[in-house]
Every structure is written in C-alpha cells, then in structure tokens.
Amino acid sequence: MLRVDFWNVYDRAQAALERTNNGMESAHGQFARDLNHHPSLGAFLAAFIKDIDKQCDIAQAIRLHKIRSRRPKYVIKEQRVVEILETARVIISNGAGPFIEPFAYHFSDRFYIEPIASEGYVDSPAVGTNLEIDRFSSELKLKQSTAPISVDSSKIQPIDGLVGIIQLVSGPYLIVISKSTSVGTLNGADIYRVIRTELIPFRTSEAHLSENERHANQIFVEMLETVLKCDAFYYSHRMDISHSFQWLSENATPNFHQQPLFQRIDRNFVWNTRLCVLFTSAQLSSFAIPLIHGFVGIRQCVVCVKPFKLALISRRSVQRAGVRFHTRGLDREGNCANFVETEQIVQFDPKSVLKEQQHLASFVQIRASIPLFWAQRTNLRWQPNISHLPKNEQIAAYRAHLNALFNRYGKDANGNPRKIVIVNLINQYGREHILGKLFHSVVDSVTFDNVRFEHFDFHRHCSSLNWDRLSELHKILAPEVNNFGFFLTKLERKSGGKNSDGLLEGSSEVGERKYQNGLFRTNCMDCLDRTNVVQALLAMESLRLQLQSIGILPQNVKNFDAWPGFVYTFKNLWADNGDDCSKQYAGTAALKTDYTRIGRRTFGGALQDAHNSLMRYFKNNWSDGYRQDAINLFLGNYVVNRYNLPAGLDHSPVAFDLNGFAIVFSVITFAMTILCLLVSENPFIALFWLALSVLMLSFIWLHGEDFSDRPRLVVSGN
C-alpha cells in the first residue's frame, strides 16, 4: 500500500477534487477507494481529523503527527486542505461509496494495478493485494498491499478497470478503461458503457524496431483503438451480464457468486477473454473486467400508475465475429455470423414493507446470419452476387448449428430441447430467392421435431410502405409467443453477507419460477433492418404477457394504446438497440427505424434510409476490410508475429501497383474531360479524354473485387 503521510493524502484528495471540478466524478468515489483498500490510511485520516476537531488548528494537527514538508515547492492553501479533510470526514462518517475504482501505478520497470472493489468489499480473493506486472518479463504476480509502493517516481492513473494485455510488434500493451459511464442499475448492480480506453506499452521506447516495424506497430495500435472506440462495450462489477437471467437461475450454484466474474462468464459473449489469458487463476482474474459487445439500455417506465424498469441487453458473439460482407453464414463448427442474443428484462419492485422483494422477468430471442455456407464478396456493386456451396455440403453444418442452440438454451420441464422457430424474412424473388430456396430445402432435409420454419417475405407483404401488414406475421407468431412464455422469478434481498443462491449476490429466489420454453431465431440478409422490426414486434407481445403476469397490466388488455408515453419509450429503446447492432455490423445506423420508433414509415425516414444505404456502400467497399482486421486482432484470431508482418496493413486505396495506377489515371482522365469541355474548342479532344475515362472506369468496375478493401490479416481456418 502507499506510505501513509500527509503528502500522500494531500495528493490523492487534491486529484479527486480536481476531477470533481472538471465534472468527471465525485471526490467521494475517488477518495473512498483509498479508505476501502488501505485501512491504515483510513485510521490515519480519522485520527488526523479528530486532532483538527480538538485543536481547530491545521498547523498544530500537522505538528502532532510529525509531518515534515518533503516537497517545499508545494504551497499548501489552508482552504484547500480544509476541502480535502472535509471530503475525508464525510467518507469516514458515511462509509465507502457503491463502487471504489482502482488505480494503476506506472514505473519504468513495472506496473501496479489495484483490485476491483464494490459495495464495501474487494472482489475476493484479491483482498489485500495489488497486481504487479513486470514490464520486461511480462510476469504477473500478486503483491501484498502491506508492502509499501513508493509513489515518488510513479505516474498514478485512476482507471475503471483492466481490459487485458495484448502482444504487438514492439512488445506487450496493457489496455485499461480510463473513462466509463453508467447506463443504469439493474437488479441492484450498476452497468457501465466504456467511453475511453488507453493502450500503455510495456516498452518505453521503440528504438529496437526498424522503420517498417514501427509503422506496423502503429497500425496495429490504431486498429485496436478503432475497435475500442465503438461505444459498444459494457461491463458490470457485480453482475454477470454475459448470461441471461434464465441461465443464471437454472445453472448458478450456491457458490457461483463467490467466484471472480471472469471465472463464471459465458466466453461466447465476452470479447476480452483472449486478452486476459494471463489472468486465469482465481487470484489474478479478480483484476480483469469481462466486456460484452452489443447494447445495454435501461429505461424507467410507468403503466397503470405502476413504475418498473425495462431493459434490453444485446450480446454479440465472439464466434465468427466481423463486419457485413466479410462474415456471412456458417463455419464448419456451426458458428453463425452476426449472432446476437437479445434479452428484454422487466424489473418491478412492489415495495413490500415486510421484506425487500422484486419481480424479475425476461424474454430472450436471437438473430443470426442464414445458417448456410454462403458469401458475398464486395466488388463495387450495390449488392454483390451471392455464392454458396451445394446442398449436400450444407446439411452437416446446419445440423451442428441447431444442436449448438439446443445445448445453449437447454431443455424444457419435460426434458426435451426447447422449441426453436426460425423466422426467415428474405425476399422470395431476385438474388435473395436463390438463397431462400436453398435454406428451405436444407431445413426440410434435416428433421427436428422441435424446429419450425416460418418464411415471411417482408418486402412483398410490406411493399409501398404498407407496414400495417406486419399484423399478418403477428397473427402467425403470437400463439407461439404465448406458448413459449418467459422467465419470471421473485427475488428477495438479503441483508449482510455475499453468499447467495439467487441471480445476484445478496439475493435469493423465492416462490415459483416460470421459464421460457422456446426461442425465436430471426434473420434477413444482414439480420439488421427487417430483423429489428420483427424482434420488436415479438418483444412487445411478450412484454404484454409479462406485465399481466406480474400484476402491472390487467388481463383483458390487448395492446398498449392507452399508454402512448410508454409505447414511445419502448419503441425508441428497441430502435436504439437496432441502430447500435447495425453500426457494429454494417457501419451505419439501421434502416426502417422510423417504423420502429413511431410505428409508421415516413418520407423523412426514407431519406435517412437512402443516406445510410449510401454510407454503407462506401464503408463496405472501402473500409470494412480494415474493420475486419481490427476485430480479428482484438479477439486474438490473429496473433502478431514481429518476424512475419503482412503487407499492405495501411489499407490504402491507392497503392504503388496496377490498381493504384488505374485509380490515379481514371481521376486524371475524368479531370481532363471536364477541363476540355470547359476550355477546348476542339470537341474531339474532350471525346478522347472521355473515352479514356470510360475505359479506365470500366476496367475498375469489371475488376471490382480487386479495388474494394479486403482483410489483410490471415486468420487460421478462414
């Protein structure tokens, strides 16, 4: 721990107050971390404040504690010290805050990381220890906090958590969360969205690298920053948000919550698992924070004068993760591209005066790419051609995909795998029809008693903005929403103690539970725009049943028309979810969100869709190869080898090759055509340059695959 003297207290509290003045966080939360981790510091402050209370003289209190000025350049202002000590006084009086953030200490030869602490205790078993990371050997070990950390030559950095360690060209990098924001509280636990991260190199110099290696290292750093800046990473210090509430209820053992978070996560939905391979032991895993990628939204709602929380958690799978045209369909193990599990959660507190209870309900559905071997390679066309394997090579992987879903979502009360309804929304005409016909044929060839296939041609039924025809799909699927049910339990909070058999530490499930016994798997071509609309439709129907079961909504109510304010909140929450899922996969916000938000198609929404479609075209053709590489690097699908660096890492559209020459020459010929039309009196000169321009553009168009951005990092198995 830190040497306990006045200067240490002064520096730490001053930093807390300055961050408060900048609007970053509370001094209470900053300073409470010290008191919670270092009891001797708290005892020192308590005695120090007590002396001030008695003597009413700061200088005398300092002399009583024999504090000598080791930093004469510092000028202590009496009012500043009073502010610091008042902060300490409040903390000592009221106890530690809800979450105590750790600090990172940077030395020339090592890092020290403090463990995560929350609700007055450190996430065991790291109590009383700091993590020491050797910057030369990359060795990780625990250091007892009773041993002092000299801070005179260190950089002290407040962090919200540790993402992990990754090996780049210059050596390992430490990735920390430097800023995050709370998106709300669910089941007593705060959930945070990552705002800013920092990559800290172990090596303090790149003198050992060649110019080419330094360039490659910088590109890799920028790739990681691209992934980390997407505003789509979420975490919680106390709640496992990688699992659904139903899974936790069915599978969590009494000792489940005693394990560090990283030892109880669903690794399919945690994106920094491979970054934390060095944190595998129970002690070390307490220092890392599991991150999910997707969306978390929590809203306060009121229906029938009864307040409740409505939440959405979308978890994007790490399996076959990537961007739109570079990850389609299945792999050999049955993993599907763009696999996202979305859980809609209702939390209702009836405010019992006898004991603290709450109702918790959830409804899970998934989206994923069409479960076949198929691809679309970008080639500058608006919609690239679809390629696929023949039917006889599709069946094994499709069967593996369905079996994986059965294993993931368990069995019903009778011991049978839960039913799955595949909702296919692609067109029954054009290029989509070819894939849809193959999909239907494969489904018919593989017999599963508990799988039903529903094909609804979204664009044909809802053509000419007639989206009220979605009621036809609602009539088809509503009975199964009712039959599948939802997860429902009642939680009772326990005072004191961490151990629990409930969904969260300090709580237990009481009374009878209900379970969701079926699953909707929805897809269109991209599993974005049409899928968003239909998933919101199913979620609204399930929510009506949930609120009726909890006692919020009368049993005879068939819709939410009487509560337009709630409908607005619900639709915008789902539209926000759709936008974020779309940005992560296609690079822009979702299309058709005007219907999701206000229940009808509008001219303004159509214009916004046109803009987003155009942006998708440019991003998919000229930047998505880079994004795919960045994702593969972050997930550990590609491992950096300093001695075998790939070429063309910068993904420049203009390279020193034939393709680069074609692009430059086409620009020149087009410019000359315009110039000749404006100034030349000889029309044949303009026609000459126009012909060359058309020739070059035709060459680029015919060889579109060579001119669109492609991933450069070779991933094994792809």
Pairing of β 340-348 and β 357-367: antiparallel
Q: Between 194 and 63, name the one with better pLDDT.
A: 194
pLDDT tens for 504-540 read 555 666 667 899 999 999 999 999 999 999 999 999 9
Among candidate residues 198, 215, 202, the one with its CA nearest the CA of residue 158: 198
Confidence class of residue 125 from pLDDT cuts 50, 70 and 90? very low
Q: What's the CA gap between 339 and 317, in Å, rounded?
A: 6
Q: What's the CA gap between 670 and 680, in Å, rounded?
A: 15
Per DSSP, the residues of 557-576 read ---STT-HHHHHHHHHHHHH
Lowest mean pLDDT among 188-202, 222-236, 676-690: 676-690
Q: What is the pLDDT of residue 95?
A: 44
Among candidate residues 124, 126, 125, the one with its CA nearest the CA of residue 114: 126
Among candidate residues 111, 550, 565, 613, the one with its CA nearest the CA of residue 361: 550
List 298's β-bridge partners, or say none: 311
What sign for the dihedral angle of Cα 146, 160, 186, 320? negative
Pairing of β 419-424 and β 451-455: parallel
Among candidate residues 37, 497, 1, 32, the one with its CA nearest the CA of residue 286: 37
Q: What is the pLDDT of residue 658?
A: 67
Q: What is the pLDDT of residue 595?
A: 72
Q: What is the pLDDT of residue 46?
A: 58
Confidence class of residue 283 from pLDDT cuts 50, 70 and 90? confident
List 158's β-bridge partners, or say none: 103
Q: Is the pLDDT of residue 98 over 50?
A: no
Segment 405-430 shows an average pLDDT of 91
Q: What's the CA gap between 415 and 97, in Å, rounded?
A: 45
How is residue 662 written in tokens?
Answer: 């074609």
Kindly provide the residue ranges of all beta strands, DSSP E only, lying in 58-102, ordered along the sequence. 99-100
Confidence class of residue 119 from pLDDT cuts 50, 70 and 90? very low
Percent of the chain with pLDDT over 90: 48
Crossing angle of the two packed helices 6-21 and 39-55, in degrees rounded to 10: 90
Helix (H) or strand (E) holding 461: helix 458-461
Query: Which class for 559: exposed (0-12), middle (13-18), buried (19 or more C-beta within 10 A)?
Result: exposed
Among candidate residues 368, 404, 413, the one with its CA nearest the CA of residue 518: 413
Residue 489: C-alpha distances to residues 265, 486, 507, 511, 516 (Å): 21, 10, 12, 7, 12
Residue 240: C-alpha distances to residues 190, 505, 624 (Å): 11, 11, 31
Residue 203 phi/psi, 5-degree rounding, is: -80, 135
Q: What's the CA gap between 347 and 504, in Å, rounded?
A: 14
Torsional class of 511: left (φ above 0), alpha (ψ -120 to 50), beta (otherwise) = left
Q: What is the pLDDT of residue 258?
A: 76
Among candidate residues 137, 135, 116, the one with its CA nearest the CA of residue 126: 116
Q: DSSP assignment, residue 124?
A: T
Q: Is the pLDDT of residue 574 over 60?
A: yes
Helix (H) or strand (E) holding 518: strand 518-523
Confidence class of residue 421 from pLDDT cuts 50, 70 and 90? very high
Lowest mean pLDDT among 11-25, 336-350, 678-692, 697-711: 11-25
Q: DSSP assignment, residue 463?
A: G
pLDDT tens for 326-337 read 999 999 999 999
Q: What is the pLDDT of residue 415?
A: 82
Q: What's the CA gap between 291 and 298, in Å, rounded?
A: 18
Mean per-residue pLDDT of the chain: 82
Segment 668-672 shows an average pLDDT of 86
Q: What's the CA gap between 619 and 587, in Å, rounded?
A: 7
Segment 91-109 shows an average pLDDT of 59
Segment 691-702 shows an average pLDDT of 85
- Judge contact between 95 and 120, C-beta under 8 A: yes
Among candidate residues 409, 275, 404, 410, the one with its CA nearest the CA of residue 331: 404
Residues 6+ positions from 449 with CB-CB distance below 8 Å: none
Q: What is the pLDDT of residue 48?
A: 57
Pairing of β 129-134 and β 419-424: unpaired
Residue 335: C-alpha distances to residues 50, 290, 401, 403 (Å): 63, 21, 6, 11
Rounded to a whole number of angstroms, the distance between the first and last alpha carbons of the chain is: 48
Residue 557 phi/psi, 5-degree rounding, is: -80, 130
Among candidate residues 202, 486, 509, the one with its CA nearest the CA of residue 344: 486
Q: What's the CA gap between 506 and 504, in Å, rounded?
A: 6
Q: How many helices and strands (H and E) does the chain possess? A: 19, 23
> Domain limits of the chain?
1-97, 98-290, 294-627, 652-718
How is residue 48 written in tokens?
Answer: 């120090």
Pairing of β 518-523 and β 357-367: parallel
Maximum CA extent, the chain: 99
Q: Is the pLDDT of residue 375 over 90?
A: yes
Collapsing DSSP to helix, strand or coil, 84 comes out as helix
pLDDT tens for 203-242 read 988 888 999 999 999 999 999 999 999 999 999 988 899 9
Residues 6+ positions from 219 with CB-CB distance below 8 Å: 649, 650
Q: What is the pLDDT of residue 81?
A: 54
Q: Is the pLDDT of residue 425 over 90?
A: yes
- Judge contact between 701 and 380, C-beta under 8 A: yes
Lowest mean pLDDT among 38-42, 534-538, 690-694: 38-42
Helix (H) or strand (E) holding 582: helix 564-586
Per DSSP, the residues of 284-305 read GGGGB---EEEEEEEEEEEETT
Residues 6+ positions from 145 with CB-CB distance below 8 Å: 1, 37, 38, 128, 129, 130
Among candidate residues 705, 249, 179, 289, the one with its CA nearest the CA of residue 487: 249
Q: What's the CA gap between 714 and 718, in Å, rounded?
A: 8
Q: What's the CA gap between 76 and 85, in Å, rounded?
A: 13
pLDDT tens for 604-618 read 888 888 888 899 988
Q: Between 640 and 187, name the one with better pLDDT.
A: 640
Q: What's the CA gap between 274 and 106, in Å, rounded?
A: 23
Residue 453 phi/psi, 5-degree rounding, is: -110, 125
Segment 421-439 shows an average pLDDT of 94
Q: How many residues does the chain have?
A: 718
Q: What is the pLDDT of residue 467?
A: 74
Q: Is the pLDDT of residue 698 over 50?
A: yes
Q: Is the pLDDT of residue 497 over 50?
A: no
Collapsing DSSP to helix, strand or coil, 152 comes out as coil
Among candidate residues 535, 489, 495, the one with its CA nearest the CA of residue 512: 489
The half-sphere exposure of 210 on its side-chain side, counting CA atoms within 13 A, is 5
Residue 406: C-alpha distances to residues 146, 317, 335 (Å): 50, 16, 13
Q: Is the pLDDT of residue 659 over 80?
A: no
Q: What's the CA gap between 698 and 420, in Å, rounded?
A: 47
Q: What's the CA gap between 474 and 81, in Å, rounded?
A: 65
Q: What's the CA gap between 439 and 454, in Å, rounded?
A: 11
